């Protein structure tokens, strides 16, 4: 999954935010791999492609107590 797929506006369904049951049915119909791939696509859309391989910065330091 190197590239974020483009949005196909022909298959987008707009529903109410209160329609939780329909959303559950949709995601339960997907395989676990498809669910993880959807999460990965959302993460790349939010944080960008560059941050996919970046590492966490070190922000803790240890010190010796006397």
Q: What range defines the domain where residue 38 resides? A: 20-44
Per-residue pLDDT reduced to its tens digit, 22-42: 888 989 999 999 999 998 888
Number of independent structural domains in the chain = 1
The pLDDT, as a whole number, for residue 58 is: 66
Give the chain's mean pLDDT.
79
Residue 58 lies in a domain: no
Say whether pLDDT at 2 is over 70.
no
Query: Which residues, 6+ apart, have CB-to-CB distance to 35 below 8 Å?
Result: 27
Residue 38 lies in a domain: yes
Residue 13 lies in a domain: no
The pLDDT, as a whole number, for residue 32 is: 94
Residue 66 lies in a domain: no
Indicate the burial class of 44 (C-beta count within 10 angstroms; 0-12, 13-18, 19 or more).
Answer: middle
The pair of three-digit structure tokens given for residue 36, joined into one six-digit string? 């993880």
In the block, residue with structure tokens 């190197």? 2
């Amino acid at each position: 999954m190197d590239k974020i797929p483009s949005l196909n506006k022909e298959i987008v369904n707009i529903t109410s935010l209160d329609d939780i049951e329909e959303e559950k049915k949709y995601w339960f119909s997907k395989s676990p791999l498809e669910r993880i791939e959807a999460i990965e696509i959302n993460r790349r859309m939010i944080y960008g492609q560059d941050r996919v391989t970046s590492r966490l910065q070190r922000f803790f330091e240890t010190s010796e107590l006397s």
